[in-house]
Amino acid sequence: MVINFLHDLKSYLETKVAVCDIVVETPKAVDEGALIEWERTNDCQLPDELRNFYLTTNGVSLIWHSKHSDVKVLIGRIQINGISALKQASFTFTSDVDVAQEMDVDIFVGQLMRFSQESPKKKMFILEQCSSSCVVLVLNSRCSEIYYIDRDASFHRLCDTLSQYIRLAAVHLGIIGWQTCYTSSGPRPEFLQYAALYTPERLSLNARGARYWLENDAGFYPHPVLHSKKLRSIEVCSSERSAQAPRNTAHGTSTNRVRSVESAHAKRSADQSFPMRKSKV
**pLDDT tens, residue by residue, 14-55:** 999 999 999 999 999 999 999 999 999 998 889 999 999 999
Q: 139 falls in which pLDDT band (50, 70, 90)? A: confident
Total domain count for the chain? 1
pLDDT mean over 135-139: 90
pLDDT value for 219:
47
pLDDT value for 111:
46
pLDDT mean over 106-116: 46
- What does the pLDDT look like over 237-254, one tens digit per residue? 544 443 443 333 333 322
With respect to residue 237, please indicate whether it lies within any of the assigned structural domains: no
pLDDT value for 144:
84
With respect to residue 203, please indicate whether it lies within any of the assigned structural domains: yes
With respect to residue 180, please indicate whether it lies within any of the assigned structural domains: yes
Q: Which long-range contacts (CB under 8 A, 24 or more apart) does 202-208 make?
A: 202/171, 202/172, 202/173, 206/181
**What does pTM read for this prediction?**
0.73
With respect to residue 272, please indicate whether it lies within any of the assigned structural domains: no
With respect to residue 72, please indicate whether it lies within any of the assigned structural domains: yes
Q: 92 falls in which pLDDT band (50, 70, 90)? A: low
Q: 121 falls in which pLDDT band (50, 70, 90)? A: low
Share of the chain above pLDDT 90, in %: 40
Q: 86 falls in which pLDDT band (50, 70, 90)? A: very high
For all residues of the chain together, what is the average pLDDT? Answer: 73
- What are phi and psi for residue 178, nearest 5 degrees? -60, -30
CB count in 10 Å sphere of residue 142: 11
d(CA 201, CA 19): 18
d(CA 108, CA 228): 9
pLDDT mean over 247-263: 33
pLDDT mean over 172-178: 95
Most confident stretch, 61-70, 128-137, 264-273: 61-70
Per the CB < 8 A criterion, the answer to whether 254 and 88 are in contact is: no
With respect to residue 91, please indicate whether it lies within any of the assigned structural domains: no
With respect to residue 268, please indicate whether it lies within any of the assigned structural domains: no
With respect to residue 281, please indicate whether it lies within any of the assigned structural domains: no
- What are phi and psi for residue 75, nearest 5 degrees? -110, -45
Per the CB < 8 A criterion, the answer to whether 138 and 123 are in contact is: yes
Task: Give yes or no for residue 271 having a pLDDT over 60.
Answer: no
pLDDT value for 68:
87
Which position has the higher pLDDT, 83 or 110? 83
* Full residue range of the structural domain in which residue 211 is found: 2-86+109-225
- What does the pLDDT look like over 201-232, one tens digit per residue? 888 887 766 555 555 554 444 555 554 445 55
- What does the pLDDT look like over 146-173, one tens digit per residue? 989 887 777 888 998 999 999 999 999 9
